[in-house]
Amino acid sequence: MKEPNLQNDPAKSPEIQEMILSSRIGIISAELSKRLEITPVRALQLFYESKTCADLHDKDTGLYLYGNLYIADEFIREYGEKTLHS
Protein backbone atom coordinates (compact mmCIF):
# COMPACT_ATOMS: atom_id res chain seq x y z
CA MET A 1 0.00 0.00 0.00
CA LYS A 2 1.28 3.42 -0.92
CA GLU A 3 1.74 5.99 1.86
CA PRO A 4 0.04 9.35 1.35
CA ASN A 5 2.26 12.22 0.35
CA LEU A 6 2.09 14.48 3.40
CA GLN A 7 3.78 17.25 1.47
CA ASN A 8 0.65 17.62 -0.67
CA ASP A 9 -1.80 17.14 2.20
CA PRO A 10 -4.07 20.22 2.21
CA ALA A 11 -4.74 19.75 5.95
CA LYS A 12 -1.07 20.51 6.59
CA SER A 13 -1.22 23.92 4.92
CA PRO A 14 -0.57 26.89 7.23
CA GLU A 15 -3.97 28.36 6.42
CA ILE A 16 -5.85 25.21 7.43
CA GLN A 17 -3.72 24.81 10.55
CA GLU A 18 -4.52 28.41 11.57
CA MET A 19 -8.24 27.77 11.02
CA ILE A 20 -8.07 24.66 13.20
CA LEU A 21 -6.21 26.56 15.93
CA SER A 22 -8.71 29.43 15.79
CA SER A 23 -11.57 26.96 16.16
CA ARG A 24 -9.87 25.33 19.14
CA ILE A 25 -9.34 28.71 20.79
CA GLY A 26 -13.05 29.44 20.39
CA ILE A 27 -13.97 26.14 22.01
CA ILE A 28 -11.50 26.69 24.87
CA SER A 29 -12.83 30.23 25.41
CA ALA A 30 -16.42 28.97 25.52
CA GLU A 31 -15.40 26.47 28.20
CA LEU A 32 -13.62 29.20 30.16
CA SER A 33 -16.70 31.40 29.90
CA LYS A 34 -18.78 28.67 31.55
CA ARG A 35 -16.23 27.83 34.24
CA LEU A 36 -15.43 31.41 35.19
CA GLU A 37 -18.99 32.67 34.70
CA ILE A 38 -17.88 35.52 32.45
CA THR A 39 -18.93 36.58 28.95
CA PRO A 40 -17.45 34.65 26.03
CA VAL A 41 -15.82 37.85 24.76
CA ARG A 42 -14.09 38.41 28.13
CA ALA A 43 -12.99 34.76 28.22
CA LEU A 44 -11.53 35.10 24.74
CA GLN A 45 -9.73 38.30 25.71
CA LEU A 46 -8.25 36.75 28.86
CA PHE A 47 -7.19 33.64 26.98
CA TYR A 48 -5.50 35.60 24.18
CA GLU A 49 -3.53 37.60 26.79
CA SER A 50 -2.36 34.46 28.61
CA LYS A 51 0.87 32.52 28.58
CA THR A 52 -1.25 29.43 27.97
CA CYS A 53 -2.39 30.87 24.64
CA ALA A 54 1.19 31.80 23.73
CA ASP A 55 2.25 28.24 24.56
CA LEU A 56 -0.57 26.87 22.42
CA HIS A 57 0.77 28.84 19.44
CA ASP A 58 4.37 27.74 20.13
CA LYS A 59 4.86 24.30 18.57
CA ASP A 60 7.99 23.77 20.69
CA THR A 61 5.91 23.53 23.90
CA GLY A 62 3.80 20.67 22.56
CA LEU A 63 0.68 22.12 24.21
CA TYR A 64 -1.15 21.97 20.88
CA LEU A 65 -1.05 18.17 21.20
CA TYR A 66 -3.28 18.22 24.29
CA GLY A 67 -7.07 18.34 24.38
CA ASN A 68 -9.12 21.49 24.72
CA LEU A 69 -10.27 20.71 28.28
CA TYR A 70 -6.68 20.14 29.40
CA ILE A 71 -5.69 23.50 27.90
CA ALA A 72 -8.64 25.14 29.69
CA ASP A 73 -7.37 23.57 32.94
CA GLU A 74 -3.89 24.98 32.25
CA PHE A 75 -5.37 28.44 31.75
CA ILE A 76 -7.40 28.15 34.99
CA ARG A 77 -4.18 27.28 36.87
CA GLU A 78 -2.39 30.25 35.30
CA TYR A 79 -5.35 32.57 35.93
CA GLY A 80 -5.56 31.45 39.56
CA GLU A 81 -1.86 32.08 40.10
CA LYS A 82 -2.18 35.56 38.56
CA THR A 83 -5.13 36.53 40.74
CA LEU A 84 -3.40 35.21 43.85
CA HIS A 85 -0.32 37.29 43.16
CA SER A 86 -2.17 40.48 42.19
Residue 61 within any structural domain of the chain:
yes
Domain that holds residue 54: 17-84
Model confidence band, residue 82 (pLDDT cutoffs 50, 70, 90)? confident
CA distance 70 to 52: 11
- Is residue 8 assigned to a domain? no
CB-based contact 82:49 (threshold 8 Å): no
Residue 2 counted as domain residue = no
Give me the pLDDT at residue 23, please: 96
- Cα 24 to Cα 3, 4, 37, 52, 78: the distances in Å are 28, 26, 19, 13, 18
For residue 52, being part of any structural domain is answered with yes
Written as one letter, the residue type at 80 is G
Whole-model pTM? 0.83
| Rounded Cα gap, residues 59 and 14, in angstroms | 13
Q: Is residue 5 one of the residues assigned to a domain?
A: no
Per-chain mean pLDDT for the chain: 90
Q: Are the beta carbons of 28 and 68 closer than 8 angstroms?
A: yes
- The answer to whether residue 9 is domain-embedded is no
In a domain, 78, yes or no: yes
Domain count, the chain: 1
Is 37 a member of any domain? Answer: yes
Report the alpha-carbon distance of residue 75 to residue 29 in Å, rounded.
10
